[in-house]
């Protein structure tokens, strides 16, 4: 006896494909296309972008290639993603001990800039293998050593001429000649200038851990030491003649020299305090100290005061070697000031856009 099916009950239709039966041609083709589409979607989209998912990379391999010969020097393997360029230099030094980290220059491209030590390796990678070009920067020295050597020489050299060694001047003539007070004042001012530089190098300026080629220190020492010898020889010579306008010229020039030295020191302290406090969002502003008010007119007042010191020293001693040295120093410091001014314009445009680089009159 058959049961009558309730009119409201759903009718279950048998699917022939579930039991292995063949489907009609049209249904079979659409079914295959549907399955293929699902397979492609489940596999993920095909992206032509070469971007690297750093989170899935455990280590990088850094290939070091000579920038001139294009030959591979070594491969630094197992570099963690959090490593920096400095870490790669240390690993490279272990593989090649003749090149210590400070003399290793690494570039991402052959003609590109040298990479800073603080750059992350992960930011350079587009794959698990990174190629860096190596340049031997030569023997390096630290910045503190550089400035201490450069400034200690003039201090000692000038004193040797001041005491009038027998190997430099005629002793008979030295005993007979009278030393004008400007000679003693010039020695005091010259020594004060370089002692200030030495103390600021040790206790005020904060240098990075970077280095500079040894040849730069040799050139700097040759410039400062050579000019100091020439300047000291003339000022301390037994036949040295005092300035034309006498005591007034010496007094006013010495006062201007001391003011420039004080201003230079206070500007350097203000710049060092800004760096130490971590306030890099705004340009240094003048304080209650009147020597810092020059910040209102120029972006590099330390160079302005340095140039003022040597110009005052030239007027005070009235000697040709000092004048030539002051002229060259003004040119060099103006170039440094222009370079810094451009950097300040990028970082602190609203604050420095109406300022001069070093000379207040020239905008």
Structural domain boundaries in the chain: 60-138, 139-242, 243-362
Token reading at 5: 């099916």
Q: Which of 4-8, 29-33, 182-186 has the lowest mean pLDDT?
A: 4-8
Q: Please give the Cα distance from 194 to 200 (Å, whole number).
A: 10
Quote the pLDDT of residue 176: 81
Q: Please give the Cα distance from 179 to 240 (Å, whole number).
A: 9
Quote the pLDDT of residue 3: 42
pLDDT tier for residue 12 given thresholds of 50, 70 and 90: very low
Q: Which of 20-34, 92-106, 325-339 has the lowest mean pLDDT?
A: 20-34
pLDDT tier for residue 285 given thresholds of 50, 70 and 90: confident
Q: Which of 64-78, 202-216, 230-244 has the lowest mean pLDDT?
A: 202-216
Q: Please give the Cα distance from 220 to 332 (Å, whole number).
A: 12
Q: Please give the Cα distance from 194 to 103 (Å, whole number).
A: 29
Higher pLDDT, 306 or 359: 306
| Phi, psi angle pair for 302, to nearest 5° | -65, -35
Q: Please give the Cα distance from 163 to 233 (Å, whole number).
A: 11
Please say if the pLDDT value at position 25 is more than 70. Answer: no
Average pLDDT over residues 279-297: 82
Please say if the pLDDT value at position 363 is more than 50. Answer: no
- In terms of Cβ atoms closer than 10 Å to its own Cβ (0-12, 13-18, 19+), residue 194 is buried
Question: CA angle at residue 71 from 65 to 73, to 5 degrees?
Answer: 55
Quote the pLDDT of residue 126: 84
pLDDT tier for residue 283 given thresholds of 50, 70 and 90: confident
Domain 60-138 classified CATH 3.20.20.70? Answer: no
- The residues pairing with 136 across neighbouring beta strands, listed in sequence order, are 104
- Taking the chain, what is the end-to-end CA distance rounded to the nearest angstrom? 112
Query: How many other C-beta atoms are found inside a 10 Å radius of the C-beta of residue 199?
Result: 13
CA distances from 235 to 162, 254, 299, 319, 349 (A): 9, 15, 34, 7, 45
Higher pLDDT, 330 or 177: 330
Quote the pLDDT of residue 18: 41
Contacts 24+ apart (CB under 8 A), 283-290: 283/344, 283/348, 283/351, 283/352
pLDDT digits (tens, 9 = 90+) for 41-64: 455 454 444 445 445 568 899 999
> Residues in the chain, how many?
363
Is residue 135 within 8 A of residue 114, CB to CB? The reply is: yes
Q: Please give the Cα distance from 66 to 88 (Å, whole number).
A: 15
Token reading at 4: 């009558």
Most confident listed range (34-48, 197-211, 246-260, 337-351):
246-260
Quote the pLDDT of residue 31: 56
Please say if the pLDDT value at position 272 is more than 60. Answer: yes
Q: Please give the Cα distance from 323 to 180 (Å, whole number).
A: 20
pLDDT tier for residue 292 given thresholds of 50, 70 and 90: very high
């Amino acid at each position: 006896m058959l049961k009558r099916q309730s009119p409201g009950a759903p009718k279950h239709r048998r699917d022939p494909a579930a039991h292995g039966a063949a489907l009609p041609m049209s249904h079979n083709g659409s079914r295959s296309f549907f399955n293929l589409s699902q397979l492609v979607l489940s596999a993920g989209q095909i992206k032509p972008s070469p971007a690297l998912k750093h989170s899935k990379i455990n280590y990088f391999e850094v290939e070091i290639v000579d920038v001139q010969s294009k030959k591979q020097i070594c491969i630094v393997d197992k570099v963690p993603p959090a490593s920096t360029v400095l870490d790669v230099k240390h690993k490279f030094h272990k593989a090649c001990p003749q090149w210590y980290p400070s003399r290793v220059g690494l570039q991402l491209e052959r003609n590109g800039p040298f990479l800073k030590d603080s750059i992350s390796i992960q930011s350079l990678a587009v794959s698990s293998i990174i190629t860096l070009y190596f340049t031997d920067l030569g023997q390096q020295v630290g910045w503190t050593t550089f400035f201490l050597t450069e400034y200690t020489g003039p201090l000692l050299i000038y004193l040797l001429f001041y005491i009038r060694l027998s190997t430099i001047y005629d002793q008979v003539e030295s005993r007979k000649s009278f030393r004008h007070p400007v000679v003693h004042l010039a020695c005091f001012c010259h020594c004060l200038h370089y002692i200030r530089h030495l103390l600021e190098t040790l206790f005020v300026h904060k240098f990075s851990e970077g280095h500079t080629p040894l040849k730069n220190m040799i050139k700097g020492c040759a410039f400062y030491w050579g000019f100091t010898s020439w300047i000291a020889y003339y000022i301390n010579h037994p036949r040295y003649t005092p300035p034309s306008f006498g005591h007034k010229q010496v007094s006013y020039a010495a006062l201007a020299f001391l003011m420039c030295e004080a201003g230079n020191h206070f500007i350097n302290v203000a710049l060092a305090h800004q760096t130490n406090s971590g306030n890099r969002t705004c340009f240094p502003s003048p304080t209650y100290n009147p020597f810092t008010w020059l910040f209102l007119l120029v972006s590099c007042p330390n160079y302005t005061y340095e140039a003022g010191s040597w110009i005052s020293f030239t007027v005070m001693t009235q000697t040709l070697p000092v004048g030539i040295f002051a002229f060259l120093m003004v040119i060099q410091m103006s170039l440094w000031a222009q370079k810094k001014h451009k950097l300040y314009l990028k970082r602190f445009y609203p604050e420095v856009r109406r300022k001069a680089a070093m000379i207040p009159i020239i905008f």
